[in-house]
Amino acid sequence: MTPEELIENFSYLSDWEDKYRYLIELGEEMPSLSEDEKIPENKVDGCMSQVWFTHRMIQNKHHFEADSDAHIVRGLEAVLLLLINDKTTEEIRSLDLRKLFSEMGLEEHLSPTRRNGFFAMLDRIDQLISKGK
């Protein structure tokens, strides 16, 4: 899914409850990490919920998997993965993820702690792609 398609999907949803349901659905469609992957090295600091990201390079493209113990956070992870998965470092860096988050109408409806958690996930993604491991 392209960023434009994702923004368009969210724009069709007129109220926050519909957007919230869509986020939860996206999170439910995402596979869970195994317990072996829920280790301190994969944990995202700065989130009130338990959040994990795994990362590996496949043919010079970043591949991420994520999980959380909170439904809305899993939805936010799913949005991020739709935007960044299987892209090169340059492709990911060319995306203004904070702006896209705002354009989807998510920023204004999340609590400050959820918003901060989302930004912590962005920071973690940036760390992982900078390492390029």
CATH assignment at residue 24: 3.90.1010.10
* Cβ atoms of residues 52 and 125 within 8 Å: no
33-51 pLDDT, tens per residue?
999 999 999 999 988 899 9
Whether 119 and 73 have beta carbons less than 8 Å apart is answered as no
Q: Considering its fold, how many domains does the chain have in total?
A: 1
pLDDT by residue (tens digit) across 69-125? 999 999 999 999 999 999 999 999 999 998 888 888 787 778 888 888 899 999 999
Our answer to whether residue 67 is catalytic in this structure is no
CB-based contacts of 43: which residues, under 8 Å, 6+ apart?
A: 50, 51, 52
Tell me which residue range forms the domain holding 83.
3-33+42-131
Residue 92 in contact with residue 62, Cβ under 8 Å? yes
Nearest to 75 by CA among 121, 112, 124, 35: 121
Of the candidates 30, 47, 106, 121, the residue annotated as catalytic is 47
User: What pTM value is reported for the model?
Assistant: 0.91
